[in-house]
Structures are given as C-alpha cells and as structure tokens.
Chains A and B, each alone.
Chain A
C-alpha cells in the first residue's frame, strides 16, 4: 500500500503534530507514504481569485504524483477536495486537459483521474486499510474516552466529486474510525456545521461565532475531546479555542486531536511520537482519564 504524500501549506508549517502522527500511524499499519518532492500549494486559495491559475497550480501537483504512478494521500480536506475536483475535471475533459498541459509547457501526456486517484488519509484508513485490519492492530482500548467527530466540509463535499464515498448529510466514516479505537463516538447538534475557517481572513467575528456554536454543542453533548482531520478546522477549534473562550466568556477545555493522534494512542504510541506538545488545548487530562 503506497501513496504519494501531499502535505500542502498548513500541515508542514502549522500542523506538524498531524504530519508526525500520520507518518507514524501509516508506518504501523503498513502504509508507505512517499514524499511528493516539488509539490506546491494545492491551489485552493487561488480558486477564489483566478480560476485558470488555480487549475494550473492543482494540475502541477497532480502531474508530480502521476509521474510517480502513485495515488495521492492528502491530509488537509481542502487539498483533498480541490485536487480531487481538478483530477476529475482534467481526466474527463480532454480539451481542458490539453489546454492545461500546453499552458504548463508540458509535452508528455498525462491522464489524471484515468491514472491516479486522490484520497484523504482518513478515507484511506476507512476504505483501503479497513476497520477490521485497524482493529487487529489496536493495543490499547480507548474505551473511557467520549469523542465527538468533526468531519469538516471538504472531506465529503462537494459530494459529486467523491464517487459516493460516505454521505455528506449523514456521515459515518470518522465515527466508525473513532469507534475502532474503543472510544465512544458522541453525536451532537450541528454536526455538519462548518468550522468557520473559510472566513477567518475576511471576518474574524463570523468565524469565531461559527466555531463557538459548535464547541458549545460538543461540550453540551458531554464529549471529552474533538477528533478531526483538517488543519484548518484545527486552527479554529484548537489554536483559537482560548480566544473564543474569552470572546464569548465560555470555558470549554476541549482537547482537539487529529484522528491519527487518537488512533496512535490506541496503537500504543507515546505522546512524543504523536506530537501532543503542539496541541494548544492540553491533552494531558485526556491521557489522565485513560490511565484511570
């Protein structure tokens, strides 16, 4: 099981705990992640500004993976979504494909979705590795933990690019992955609500209000922590949790774990291997609870 690891912008700079835990977990499950040297931003931020530039940027990354003959494993949901979208579009639309390659000055033929696929790491765990195999590797049951899954938006949406993977209105893959660790998935109101990161650069108040709404419902549902799979969402819930708490006079203390961090615990890894020191909201109380 081999994939080209696409890191994107935020993960290598601000979510190294995510990157680290992913690499460790992948290793433990026998997934080989090959670094995609020369890759750049997926193109997501450019889409709002200039569609063609966005298309070329995304295509450039896809070409790197196709050259290696490897499917892409992406960690950020936004990267997953735009790379999947462009891969599909260029695979299906021959005219556009030719135009993009011409613009990029590339003579060699590339087939995009007819050759490679793009998948989020969580989807690889769920679909390619499979719940049963993960279960067989579990060393430590996380049973005492109650965890709320945050799916974020781009992991499953827009649904028409994801070939019927999971269900955007009633998702279950992440809950099942959480259940695999022995932890109890906790449902909550507004489960499909966006984290708010998308408007952070435009209007902080809106972003924080959106994140606050969700933190409130997760807390009300009695979860011990949030598990998520996108660095943007983590910026909202983890990095900005103290800001949100003071802004709305709330106290959440909700640790936010990337799913590979949670799974890593169940696979018997230690907090250093999982980069818990980079988590803004202290994970220690959670680990305490596990010890009991």
Chain B
C-alpha cells in the first residue's frame, strides 16, 4: 500500500471533507484506528495487502491519489462484517462505496463495474432475458420477462452517470 515518506503539503487536505460529504462517508473522521475492521475482513485474510484500516487512515490524511488509484477500494466484498463490528460506527462498507463513488467522479472506475452498469442500462438487469432465455423459463413453467432498459437509461441521463461509465467504454 505505498511506501516512502508522506509529505503532507503534497496531499489533498480537503479530501476528508469531500469524503464526509459523500453518502456513506459521513463518519470517516470517527475512526480511531482500532483495526477491528482489518481483523474481521475476509478479503484481508486472503490478501494481506488489503487493509481497510489503512485505507481509512490514508483517506483521513488526504492521500487521495493512493486511495483512489489503487485497486483496494474495489476489492471490498461488501460483506458488512467490519461495519457490524466497528465500535465507532464508521460504516466502513458504505464508506468504501463513498470512495468508489468519488473515484468514478475522478474518472477512475473498475472495468467490471463499467460492464455491469452498462448491462443494466441496456436491459434493466445484469443479464439479458432474451427470447432464448424466456423459452427456457417457459419450459419450466415460469412467467415471461421483458427487458426494462429504457427506465434505467432515463435515470442514468438524469443523474449524469452515463458520462462516467461511457468513457472507459470508448477507450476500449
């Protein structure tokens, strides 16, 4: 998770304010670094370099680039164990979402999420229920389903999120 000296004047001291304004990030500053989150994290138990406590710490210090540009925030499995156990109600899972949201606004987004959001935009669901799929459903006695992508498109447009998810697609 990065090495070397932290030179505070090169950091974004306003980052903590930005995070606390984001839904889910409100309690960032409450962290007193007890490490319960890291100790509970199932991802951490597989990959030592994933460390929620350290991510929170870096966000508090204003190490915006290191936080947003690394893979770490995207690796949270959203299992909520840390959030349940956090004594300071930092709501860590939601905080990770807040950080991801900020990353997206900075043009940083994991391709996995681009694909998911794009599919949902097209079909209203992660997986298209086409004629073939509907036939399978029919065979099992299940009702037919329609694609509902239009409504999602409207939402995407109204919030402007299509600007963010379109970008990486164009690059490809």
Q: Which residues of A pack against B, CB within 8 Å? A: 7-10, 12-14, 16, 19-20, 23, 35, 37-41, 45-53, 56-57, 60, 103-104, 153-154, 157-159, 168-169, 192-194, 196-199, 201-203, 205-207, 209-210, 213, 275
Residue of B nearest to A275 (CB): B140
Tell me the complex Cα distance, A53–B136, Å: 32
Contact assessment for B80 and A48 in the assembled complex, using a CB-CB cutoff below 8 Å? no
Q: Tell me if A202 and B159 are in contact (CB < 8 A).
A: no
Given contacts A56-B159, A202-B74, A202-B110, 8 further A-B contacts (CB under 8 A): A13-B127, A38-B146, A38-B148, A38-B151, A40-B152, A157-B84, A201-B115, A210-B43
Partner of B112, one of A53, A168, A201: A201
**With A56-B155, A57-B152 in contact, is A40–B78 under 8 Å at CB?**
no
Contact in complex: A196, B77 (CB < 8 Å)? yes
Residues of B within 8 A of A (CB): 22-24, 42-43, 45-47, 71, 74-81, 83-84, 91, 93, 97-98, 100-101, 104, 109-110, 112-113, 115-117, 120, 124-129, 133, 136-137, 140-143, 145-146, 148, 151-152, 155-156, 158-159, 161, 164-165
Task: Give every chain B residue within 8 A of A19 (Cβ-Cβ).
Answer: 142
Who on chain B is nearest to A194 by CB? Answer: B79
Select which of B81, B112, B148 is within 8 A of A39 by beta carbon: B148
Q: Which residues of B contact A35 (CB under 8 A)?
A: 143
- A60 and B154 CA atoms in complex are apart in Å by 12
Contact B112 A49 (CB under 8 A): no
Chain A contacts of B101 at CB under 8 A?
48-51
Task: Report the separation of the CA atoms of residues A197 and B156 in the bound assembly, to the nearest whole angstrom.
Answer: 26
Q: Check if A169 sits within 8 Å of B104, measured CB to CB.
A: no
Number of A-B contacts (CB under 8 A): 167
- Assess the A153–B80 pair: CB atoms within 8 A: yes
A contact residues around B161 at 8 Å (CB) = 46, 49-50, 52-53
The answer to whether A41 and B142 have CB atoms under 8 Å apart is no
Flag if A49 contacts B164 (CB, 8 Å): yes
B142: contacting residue among A20, A56, A194, CB under 8 A: A20
Q: In the complex, are the beta carbons of A157 and B79 less than 8 A apart?
A: yes
Give the CA-CA distance A56 to B158 in the complex, in Å: 10
**In the complex, A112→B9 CA distance in Å?**
47
Query: Given that A20-B141, A40-B148 are known contacts, is A13 also in contact with B46, CB under 8 Å in the complex?
Result: no
Query: Least Cβ distance of A108 to chain B in Å?
Result: 16
Residue from the list A49, A203, A213 in contact with B75, Cβ < 8 A: A203
Most buried by A among B22, B42, B101: B42
Question: In the complex, what residues of B have CB within 8 A of residue A51's CB?
Answer: 22-24, 97-98, 101
Separation of A57 and B24 alpha carbons in the complex (Å) = 18
Q: Which of B24, B43, B145 contacts A199 (CB 8 A)?
A: B43
Is the Cβ of B75 less than 8 Å from the Cβ of A158?
Answer: no
Asked if B145 contacts A50 (CB within 8 A), the reply is no
Chain B nearest CB, measured from A6 CB (Å) = 12
Considering the chains assembled together, what is the distance between the CA atoms of A13 and B124 in angstroms? 13
CA distance A159 to B79 in the complex (A): 12
Chain B residue numbers with a CB within 8 Å of A41 are 120, 124-126, 152
